[in-house]
Structure 1
């Protein structure tokens, strides 16, 4: 059997659908059908039972799949290791993330990356918002997916991978809690819970502004070190805080209401790494992350 015949057979055996098989392999559907028919003529028995609505493996087809699959996977691993060694994609890659949304993408990309480069170990860790660039500057992280903006001369800004709608976290019972949406100008009537730490001023000004776009002052309230503290302070009625809509999946609590902004820019999540640190490992993982981000469903449009 030729390699393309093995791949076509095993893909159809997994999908049990000619159109999905052709899309996955990048072949015309007729080419898939011809390859399977040719293989069946050579073996002498049908490998699939097929009707206009149904495709299933025959007993011989199931046996052939079970015999071929371990060897095919071993070949794939051997080729991947050779490619990894040839491109210098071995060793350990440390990847940081700053939120559960970013973690989802990084973890999914790491699984795909391991299949492509089995000799490169990906280690993943959370980077705290109170020190967003410390780990990458200290060599603890080679690559990071985190909230923008970024304006650091010693760090390279990679691509933005996704964006999330912005919302305002308010205490239950707050005058804004019953609104369908809020404006950035409404912040002038609130006290803002902020973050403290080794955080650049431009980053804080973007996420926790001191004035509205119209110039009205925004009262700055208590500052938290960790995100759970922000939620606790908001829930206790000490102020409000901006966030992104999808974070509610992970941090919902009964004393906090998530109200969408109708005029705030989205929160963008982008990659960064040390200037001059674009190694073969980093470049390969960035490619994998970008592909994984393209497969994600886009965030819902703003209100």
Structure 2
């Protein structure tokens, strides 16, 4: 199929309708008329010689041909937008460029020295760092809002490259100050099955974290096999702390939270039997740049020793 006479807006309209399955909402989200949406879909269907959507007065659904076109276009469209964005940033920021880093932690202590080392060798590069909420950990990376992400492992996303491990960090259990576990000297994953824990709101399935990634912090089953129920929901750490203080649920968190979110109405209980979290640098395979590779090399060269004296951080 020859799509050379389509512009980016046509493709964007098709992909948005594929996601929304509603002409009115598609038009509203893209700030175009509903007639414009219909015209674009009609042009596409004439070009391919078949229907992309089955439409009734109540429903809109992709045909098998529409599903195939959506899958073919989605990745290419995302990569094309990312390429245009990189070109635009190169023009705006000059030869030094800009490197946009996302971080699902609130702690820069462990990564500040290698970031400073990178900045020393790339003085003209603008290093921009922003916080990424755990409720949608990979959306900013896939949407080309950031270039690389510092987050916890494991990462099993085929479109991502997992770079060097940056550091390891213990877990602690966050509970309300009046919770039955608040005065315990230690806690374990087994304790979670006796109480409700936090989950991510299921309102946006496309942006929810993968189960395997969420379970690396908050498992779905205890070591003995008992289910660990999600009884309250939060998509960012600020809400999570407030709800924990209110006694809605408990949750394992990374140890740096006890430093940055210390409050009189919550307690942090050590979890000595829980394996530590491993943090790594991750980037989109199709978005790899020389700046990202240089940063990864700096992180790999600045590996920190683990408690046994062996280096942590060899590229995965």
Shorter-chain TM band: 0.5 to 0.7
SS in 2 for 1:207: coil
Task: Output one character per residue of 1:27-77: Cα deviation in whole Å (capped at 9) or x when no partner.
Answer: xxxxxxxxxxxxxxxxxxxxxxxxxxxxxxxxxxxxxxxxxxxxxxxxxxx
Q: Which residue of 2 aligns with 1:257?
A: 267
**How far is the alpha carbon of 1:293 from its aligned partner?**
4.9
Q: Distance in 2 between matches of 1:119 and 1:151?
A: 33
1:194 and 1:241 in contact (8 A); partners too: no
Match of 1:214 among 215, 224, 239: 224
Equivalent residue, structure 1, for 2:291: 281
Q: Which has the higher helix share?
A: 1
- Per the alignment, residue 93 of structure 1 pairs with 99
Aligned to 1:166: 171
Aligned partners of 2:307 and 2:100: how far apart in 1?
27
Tell whether 2:161 aligns with 1:151. no
TM-fit CA distance, 1:106: 4.4
CA radius of gyration, larger in: 1
Match of residue 223 from structure 1: 233
Shift of 1:276: 3.9
Following the alignment from structure 1 to structure 2, what is the Cα–Cα distance between the partners of residues 110 and 157? 18
Q: 1:231 to 1:99 in 2, by over 3 A?
A: same
In structure 2, do the counterparts of structure 1 residues 254 and 121 end up closer, same or farther at CA, with 3 Å as the change threshold? same
Q: Check the 8 A contact 2:110/2:167 in 1, yes or no.
A: no
Shift of 1:252: 0.7
Q: SS at the partner of 1:232? A: helix
What secondary structure does 2:109 align onto?
helix
Cα offset, 1:229, TM superposition: 0.7
Q: How does 1:59-74 map to 2 (within 5 A)?
A: none
Would you say the 8 A contact 2:106–2:256 is kept in 1?
A: no
Select which of 236, 253, 256 maps to 1:246.
256
SS in 1 for 2:98: strand
CA RMSD of aligned residues (A): 2.4
* Higher mean C-alpha displacement, 206-215 vs 105-114: 105-114
Could you tell me how far 1:240 is from its partner in structure 2?
Answer: 0.4
CA contact (8 A) 1:89 1:280 kept: no
Q: How many pairs does the alignment contain?
A: 211
Alignment partner of 1:233 out of 226, 229, 243: 243
Q: Is the 8 A contact 1:168 1:259 kept in 2?
A: yes
Judged with a 3 Å threshold, the aligned counterparts in structure 2 of structure 1 residues 115 and 204 are, in CA distance, closer, same or farther, namely closer
Rounded to whole Å, the distance in 2 between the matches of 1:209 and 1:158 is: 24
Which of 179, 191, 195 matches 2:200? Answer: 195
Structure 2: state its 5+ residue gaps: 1-93, 202-206, 309-316
Is 1:124 matched with 2:129?
yes
Q: Is the Cα–Cα contact under 8 Å of residues 147 and 292 in structure 2 kept in the other structure?
A: yes
